[in-house]
Amino acid sequence: MNNEIKQLLKPEILNTVSGLELIARIVVEGFMSGSNKSQTIGSGQEFSQYRTYEPGDDLRQLDWKMYARSERYYIKQAEIETNITVKFILDASQSMSYSENGISKVMYAKIMTAALAYLARKQSDTYGLFTVNNKKITTIRPRFEQQQFIRFLVALVNLETEGTWKRDNGLEGLYDYHGKEMILFFTDLYDEDEDLLNFISRLKTPRNEVITFHLMGKNEMTLAFDGSFTFQDLETHTQVKVDAALQQKQYAEQVNKWIHRSRMWMLEKHINYELVLMDNSFETSLRNFLKVRKTILR
Protein backbone atom coordinates (compact mmCIF):
# COMPACT_ATOMS: atom_id res chain seq x y z
CA MET A 1 0.00 0.00 0.00
CA ASN A 2 1.62 3.26 -1.05
CA ASN A 3 2.33 6.01 1.46
CA GLU A 4 -0.11 8.43 -0.15
CA ILE A 5 -3.02 6.06 0.52
CA LYS A 6 -1.77 5.22 4.03
CA GLN A 7 -1.92 8.89 4.94
CA LEU A 8 -5.54 9.03 3.80
CA LEU A 9 -6.66 6.00 5.84
CA LYS A 10 -7.59 8.16 8.81
CA PRO A 11 -11.23 8.02 9.94
CA GLU A 12 -11.66 11.79 9.71
CA ILE A 13 -10.56 11.67 6.05
CA LEU A 14 -11.82 8.28 4.96
CA ASN A 15 -15.30 8.78 6.37
CA THR A 16 -15.97 11.65 4.01
CA VAL A 17 -17.14 11.60 0.42
CA SER A 18 -14.15 13.61 -0.79
CA GLY A 19 -11.72 11.34 1.09
CA LEU A 20 -13.20 8.17 -0.38
CA GLU A 21 -13.30 9.70 -3.87
CA LEU A 22 -9.65 10.71 -3.60
CA ILE A 23 -8.54 7.24 -2.53
CA ALA A 24 -10.57 5.64 -5.36
CA ARG A 25 -8.89 7.93 -7.89
CA ILE A 26 -5.40 7.26 -6.49
CA VAL A 27 -5.94 3.48 -6.54
CA VAL A 28 -7.30 3.39 -10.11
CA GLU A 29 -5.02 5.96 -11.70
CA GLY A 30 -1.98 4.60 -9.88
CA PHE A 31 -2.79 1.15 -11.21
CA MET A 32 -3.59 2.38 -14.72
CA SER A 33 -0.32 4.31 -14.98
CA GLY A 34 1.52 1.02 -14.56
CA SER A 35 -0.52 -0.77 -17.25
CA ASN A 36 0.41 -0.84 -20.90
CA LYS A 37 -3.16 -1.47 -22.01
CA SER A 38 -6.41 0.05 -20.88
CA GLN A 39 -8.14 -2.17 -18.33
CA THR A 40 -11.93 -2.32 -18.24
CA ILE A 41 -14.55 -3.90 -16.03
CA GLY A 42 -16.76 -4.77 -19.00
CA SER A 43 -15.99 -6.84 -22.05
CA GLY A 44 -13.75 -4.29 -23.71
CA GLN A 45 -14.38 -2.47 -26.96
CA GLU A 46 -12.53 -2.03 -30.25
CA PHE A 47 -12.79 1.23 -32.14
CA SER A 48 -14.19 0.76 -35.63
CA GLN A 49 -14.98 4.09 -37.29
CA TYR A 50 -16.58 7.52 -36.98
CA ARG A 51 -20.01 8.45 -38.29
CA THR A 52 -21.87 11.73 -38.39
CA TYR A 53 -23.98 12.53 -35.34
CA GLU A 54 -27.73 12.02 -35.73
CA PRO A 55 -30.49 13.31 -33.42
CA GLY A 56 -31.17 10.74 -30.69
CA ASP A 57 -27.59 9.42 -30.51
CA ASP A 58 -26.03 9.03 -27.08
CA LEU A 59 -24.16 12.28 -26.41
CA ARG A 60 -21.60 10.38 -24.35
CA GLN A 61 -20.27 8.86 -27.57
CA LEU A 62 -19.47 12.24 -29.14
CA ASP A 63 -15.80 12.70 -29.96
CA TRP A 64 -14.97 16.24 -28.85
CA LYS A 65 -11.45 16.11 -30.27
CA MET A 66 -12.89 15.49 -33.72
CA TYR A 67 -15.28 18.40 -33.17
CA ALA A 68 -12.39 20.67 -32.20
CA ARG A 69 -10.58 19.78 -35.42
CA SER A 70 -13.53 19.84 -37.81
CA GLU A 71 -16.32 21.74 -36.00
CA ARG A 72 -18.60 18.83 -36.89
CA TYR A 73 -20.12 16.28 -34.54
CA TYR A 74 -18.97 12.68 -34.90
CA ILE A 75 -19.93 9.51 -33.02
CA LYS A 76 -17.38 6.81 -32.28
CA GLN A 77 -18.62 3.44 -33.46
CA ALA A 78 -17.30 0.26 -31.88
CA GLU A 79 -17.24 -3.26 -33.22
CA ILE A 80 -18.03 -4.59 -29.76
CA GLU A 81 -20.52 -2.77 -27.54
CA THR A 82 -19.19 -2.81 -24.00
CA ASN A 83 -21.55 -0.84 -21.81
CA ILE A 84 -23.04 -3.03 -19.13
CA THR A 85 -24.78 -2.61 -15.79
CA VAL A 86 -22.42 -3.16 -12.86
CA LYS A 87 -24.15 -3.97 -9.56
CA PHE A 88 -22.09 -3.78 -6.38
CA ILE A 89 -23.45 -5.69 -3.37
CA LEU A 90 -21.81 -5.39 0.06
CA ASP A 91 -22.31 -7.70 3.01
CA ALA A 92 -22.91 -5.23 5.85
CA SER A 93 -23.26 -7.76 8.67
CA GLN A 94 -21.34 -7.23 11.90
CA SER A 95 -18.66 -9.81 11.09
CA MET A 96 -17.43 -7.46 8.34
CA SER A 97 -16.20 -5.11 11.10
CA TYR A 98 -13.30 -7.51 11.78
CA SER A 99 -10.04 -5.61 11.32
CA GLU A 100 -6.31 -6.24 10.98
CA ASN A 101 -3.52 -3.67 10.82
CA GLY A 102 -5.95 -0.83 11.37
CA ILE A 103 -8.37 -1.56 8.51
CA SER A 104 -11.63 -3.49 8.69
CA LYS A 105 -13.11 -5.79 6.09
CA VAL A 106 -15.95 -3.39 5.42
CA MET A 107 -13.55 -0.48 4.93
CA TYR A 108 -11.43 -2.55 2.57
CA ALA A 109 -14.62 -3.45 0.67
CA LYS A 110 -15.69 0.21 0.56
CA ILE A 111 -12.39 1.29 -0.98
CA MET A 112 -12.38 -1.52 -3.55
CA THR A 113 -16.01 -0.78 -4.42
CA ALA A 114 -15.35 2.95 -4.79
CA ALA A 115 -12.31 2.26 -7.00
CA LEU A 116 -14.20 -0.13 -9.27
CA ALA A 117 -17.18 2.24 -9.50
CA TYR A 118 -14.73 5.01 -10.45
CA LEU A 119 -13.43 2.74 -13.21
CA ALA A 120 -16.98 1.88 -14.34
CA ARG A 121 -17.82 5.58 -14.54
CA LYS A 122 -14.73 6.28 -16.64
CA GLN A 123 -15.85 3.72 -19.21
CA SER A 124 -19.50 4.92 -19.22
CA ASP A 125 -21.03 1.83 -17.61
CA THR A 126 -24.24 2.04 -15.60
CA TYR A 127 -23.59 1.13 -11.95
CA GLY A 128 -25.47 0.81 -8.68
CA LEU A 129 -24.98 -0.22 -5.06
CA PHE A 130 -26.79 -2.48 -2.57
CA THR A 131 -25.69 -2.95 1.04
CA VAL A 132 -27.32 -5.70 3.08
CA ASN A 133 -27.76 -6.90 6.64
CA ASN A 134 -30.79 -8.11 8.60
CA LYS A 135 -31.43 -4.58 9.90
CA LYS A 136 -31.33 -2.60 6.68
CA ILE A 137 -30.96 -2.77 2.91
CA THR A 138 -29.59 0.35 1.21
CA THR A 139 -30.27 0.71 -2.49
CA ILE A 140 -28.69 3.01 -5.07
CA ARG A 141 -30.35 1.93 -8.31
CA PRO A 142 -28.04 1.50 -11.33
CA ARG A 143 -27.80 4.70 -13.36
CA PHE A 144 -25.35 6.61 -15.46
CA GLU A 145 -25.64 10.31 -14.72
CA GLN A 146 -23.53 13.09 -13.28
CA GLN A 147 -24.71 12.79 -9.66
CA GLN A 148 -24.61 8.98 -9.47
CA PHE A 149 -21.03 8.72 -8.24
CA ILE A 150 -21.68 11.18 -5.39
CA ARG A 151 -24.83 9.25 -4.38
CA PHE A 152 -22.79 6.06 -4.52
CA LEU A 153 -20.02 7.43 -2.30
CA VAL A 154 -22.44 8.94 0.21
CA ALA A 155 -24.05 5.50 0.65
CA LEU A 156 -20.62 3.91 1.17
CA VAL A 157 -19.55 6.53 3.71
CA ASN A 158 -22.81 6.11 5.67
CA LEU A 159 -22.62 2.30 5.63
CA GLU A 160 -22.24 0.77 9.08
CA THR A 161 -22.02 -2.91 9.92
CA GLU A 162 -24.61 -4.40 12.25
CA GLY A 163 -26.58 -7.56 12.86
CA THR A 164 -26.27 -10.62 10.65
CA TRP A 165 -26.71 -11.41 6.98
CA LYS A 166 -30.35 -11.03 5.98
CA ARG A 167 -32.15 -14.25 5.15
CA ASP A 168 -33.81 -14.58 1.76
CA ASN A 169 -37.05 -12.79 2.62
CA GLY A 170 -36.75 -9.15 1.49
CA LEU A 171 -33.90 -9.70 -0.97
CA GLU A 172 -36.13 -10.12 -4.03
CA GLY A 173 -35.22 -6.69 -5.42
CA LEU A 174 -31.57 -7.75 -5.76
CA TYR A 175 -32.55 -10.46 -8.24
CA ASP A 176 -33.99 -8.00 -10.79
CA TYR A 177 -32.10 -8.15 -14.06
CA HIS A 178 -31.98 -5.63 -16.87
CA GLY A 179 -29.89 -6.44 -19.93
CA LYS A 180 -26.22 -7.31 -19.68
CA GLU A 181 -25.06 -7.28 -16.05
CA MET A 182 -22.06 -7.97 -13.93
CA ILE A 183 -22.56 -8.39 -10.17
CA LEU A 184 -19.69 -7.84 -7.73
CA PHE A 185 -20.41 -9.16 -4.24
CA PHE A 186 -18.08 -8.36 -1.30
CA THR A 187 -18.45 -10.65 1.72
CA ASP A 188 -16.62 -12.70 4.34
CA LEU A 189 -18.95 -15.68 3.71
CA TYR A 190 -19.79 -16.00 7.42
CA ASP A 191 -23.42 -16.97 7.89
CA GLU A 192 -25.78 -19.63 9.23
CA ASP A 193 -27.31 -22.50 7.24
CA GLU A 194 -25.50 -21.41 4.03
CA ASP A 195 -27.73 -18.35 3.61
CA LEU A 196 -24.98 -16.52 1.74
CA LEU A 197 -24.33 -19.39 -0.66
CA ASN A 198 -28.02 -19.64 -1.43
CA PHE A 199 -28.10 -15.91 -2.09
CA ILE A 200 -25.06 -16.05 -4.39
CA SER A 201 -26.59 -19.00 -6.26
CA ARG A 202 -29.78 -17.03 -6.90
CA LEU A 203 -27.83 -14.07 -8.27
CA LYS A 204 -26.48 -16.13 -11.18
CA THR A 205 -28.40 -16.37 -14.43
CA PRO A 206 -27.31 -17.46 -17.93
CA ARG A 207 -27.25 -13.78 -18.94
CA ASN A 208 -25.03 -12.26 -16.27
CA GLU A 209 -21.67 -12.61 -14.57
CA VAL A 210 -21.24 -12.89 -10.81
CA ILE A 211 -17.95 -12.39 -9.01
CA THR A 212 -17.66 -13.01 -5.27
CA PHE A 213 -14.89 -11.16 -3.42
CA HIS A 214 -14.13 -13.18 -0.29
CA LEU A 215 -12.34 -10.93 2.22
CA MET A 216 -9.97 -12.56 4.69
CA GLY A 217 -7.29 -11.29 7.07
CA LYS A 218 -3.89 -12.98 7.36
CA ASN A 219 -4.24 -13.68 11.09
CA GLU A 220 -7.79 -14.84 10.51
CA MET A 221 -6.57 -17.45 8.02
CA THR A 222 -3.62 -18.74 10.06
CA LEU A 223 -4.52 -18.06 13.72
CA ALA A 224 -1.13 -16.34 13.96
CA PHE A 225 -1.20 -15.66 17.70
CA ASP A 226 0.90 -16.86 20.61
CA GLY A 227 -0.68 -18.09 23.83
CA SER A 228 -4.27 -18.66 24.92
CA PHE A 229 -7.03 -16.30 23.83
CA THR A 230 -10.77 -15.99 24.22
CA PHE A 231 -12.34 -15.25 20.84
CA GLN A 232 -15.84 -13.79 20.50
CA ASP A 233 -18.12 -14.14 17.51
CA LEU A 234 -18.91 -10.60 16.32
CA GLU A 235 -22.50 -11.51 15.46
CA THR A 236 -23.63 -14.11 18.00
CA HIS A 237 -21.22 -13.00 20.78
CA THR A 238 -20.42 -16.67 21.44
CA GLN A 239 -17.06 -17.02 23.16
CA VAL A 240 -14.51 -19.79 22.83
CA LYS A 241 -11.13 -20.17 24.54
CA VAL A 242 -8.31 -21.30 22.26
CA ASP A 243 -4.64 -22.19 22.74
CA ALA A 244 -3.45 -20.70 19.45
CA ALA A 245 -0.07 -22.48 19.36
CA LEU A 246 -1.63 -25.93 19.83
CA GLN A 247 -4.51 -25.48 17.39
CA GLN A 248 -2.83 -23.33 14.75
CA LYS A 249 -2.07 -26.10 12.25
CA GLN A 250 -5.49 -27.75 12.50
CA TYR A 251 -7.22 -24.37 12.28
CA ALA A 252 -5.29 -23.31 9.16
CA GLU A 253 -6.09 -26.64 7.48
CA GLN A 254 -9.81 -26.23 8.20
CA VAL A 255 -9.83 -22.68 6.84
CA ASN A 256 -8.03 -23.75 3.66
CA LYS A 257 -10.54 -26.58 3.16
CA TRP A 258 -13.42 -24.15 3.62
CA ILE A 259 -11.94 -21.74 1.07
CA HIS A 260 -11.34 -24.59 -1.39
CA ARG A 261 -14.92 -25.88 -0.98
CA SER A 262 -16.33 -22.39 -1.45
CA ARG A 263 -14.25 -21.80 -4.58
CA MET A 264 -15.19 -25.15 -6.16
CA TRP A 265 -18.88 -24.74 -5.30
CA MET A 266 -18.94 -21.38 -7.08
CA LEU A 267 -16.96 -22.55 -10.08
CA GLU A 268 -19.42 -25.41 -10.56
CA LYS A 269 -22.19 -22.81 -10.77
CA HIS A 270 -20.14 -20.60 -13.14
CA ILE A 271 -19.64 -17.99 -10.42
CA ASN A 272 -16.20 -16.42 -10.19
CA TYR A 273 -14.48 -16.58 -6.80
CA GLU A 274 -11.85 -14.00 -5.84
CA LEU A 275 -10.02 -14.41 -2.52
CA VAL A 276 -9.05 -10.93 -1.27
CA LEU A 277 -6.27 -10.92 1.33
CA MET A 278 -6.43 -7.78 3.42
CA ASP A 279 -2.66 -7.54 3.80
CA ASN A 280 -2.46 -6.99 0.02
CA SER A 281 -2.53 -3.44 -1.30
CA PHE A 282 -5.72 -2.19 -2.95
CA GLU A 283 -3.81 -1.96 -6.24
CA THR A 284 -2.85 -5.65 -5.97
CA SER A 285 -6.45 -6.68 -5.32
CA LEU A 286 -7.59 -4.57 -8.27
CA ARG A 287 -4.95 -6.16 -10.50
CA ASN A 288 -5.98 -9.67 -9.42
CA PHE A 289 -9.60 -8.91 -10.23
CA LEU A 290 -8.80 -7.53 -13.69
CA LYS A 291 -6.66 -10.62 -14.35
CA VAL A 292 -9.74 -12.74 -13.68
CA ARG A 293 -11.73 -10.54 -16.09
CA LYS A 294 -9.12 -10.99 -18.81
CA THR A 295 -9.15 -14.77 -18.33
CA ILE A 296 -12.95 -14.89 -18.58
CA LEU A 297 -12.94 -12.95 -21.84
CA ARG A 298 -10.40 -15.09 -23.67
Give 237-276 pLDDT, tens digit per residue. Answer: 888 888 777 888 898 999 999 999 999 999 999 999 999 9
Give 125-137 pLDDT, tens digit per residue. Answer: 899 999 999 999 9
Q: Mean pLDDT across the chain, nearest whole number?
A: 84
More confident of the two residues 294 and 264 = 264
- The pLDDT > 70 percentage for the chain reads 83
**Residue (of 157, 220, 160, 150) closest to 190 by Cα position:** 220
Q: Which CATH code of 2.60.40.2140, 3.40.50.410, 3.40.50.10490, 3.30.460.10 fits the domain covering 3-36+82-297?
A: 3.40.50.410
| Secondary structure (DSSP) of 238-254 | -EEEEEHHHHHHHHHHH
Q: Say if residues 221 and 252 touch (Cβ distance below 8 Å).
A: yes
Arithmetic mean of pLDDT, 267-293: 89
The CA-atom distances, in angstroms, between 229 and each of 100, 240, 242 are 16, 8, 5
Q: How confident is the model at residue 56 (pLDDT cuts 50, 70, 90)?
A: low
Paired with 137 in beta bridges are: 132
Does residue 211 carry a pLDDT above 70? yes
Q: Say if residues 96 and 105 touch (Cβ distance below 8 Å).
A: yes
Spatial distance between the Cα atoms of 169 and 72, rounded to a whole number of angstroms: 54
pLDDT of residue 40: 65
pLDDT of residue 294: 64
**Residue (of 130, 252, 254, 260) closest to 187 by Cα position:** 130
Q: How confident is the model at residue 4 (pLDDT cuts 50, 70, 90)?
A: low
User: DSSP label at 59?
Assistant: G
Residue 263, phi then psi, degrees to nearest 5: -60, -50
Q: How confident is the model at residue 105 (pLDDT cuts 50, 70, 90)?
A: very high
More confident of the two residues 47 and 24 = 24
Q: Is the pTM of this model over 0.75?
A: yes
| Secondary structure (DSSP) of 147-202 | THHHHHHHHHHH----S-PPPSTT-GGGG---SSEEEEEEE----STTHHHHHHHH
pLDDT of residue 279: 92
Arithmetic mean of pLDDT, 215-241: 84
Spatial distance between the Cα atoms of 197 and 203, rounded to a whole number of angstroms: 10
Q: Half-sphere exposure (CA, 13 Å, Cβ side) for 78? A: 11
Spatial distance between the Cα atoms of 114 and 109, rounded to a whole number of angstroms: 8
Q: How confident is the model at residue 79 (pLDDT cuts 50, 70, 90)?
A: very low
Domain map (residue ranges) of the chain: 3-36+82-297, 47-78
Spatial distance between the Cα atoms of 194 and 204, rounded to a whole number of angstroms: 16
More confident of the two residues 96 and 51 = 96
Give 142-200 pLDDT, tens digit per residue. Answer: 988 889 999 999 999 999 999 999 887 788 888 877 678 999 999 999 988 889 999 99
Three-class DSSP category at 216: strand
- Put the strands of the sheet holding 85-91 in their side by side order: 137-143, 126-132, 85-91, 181-187, 208-216, 272-277
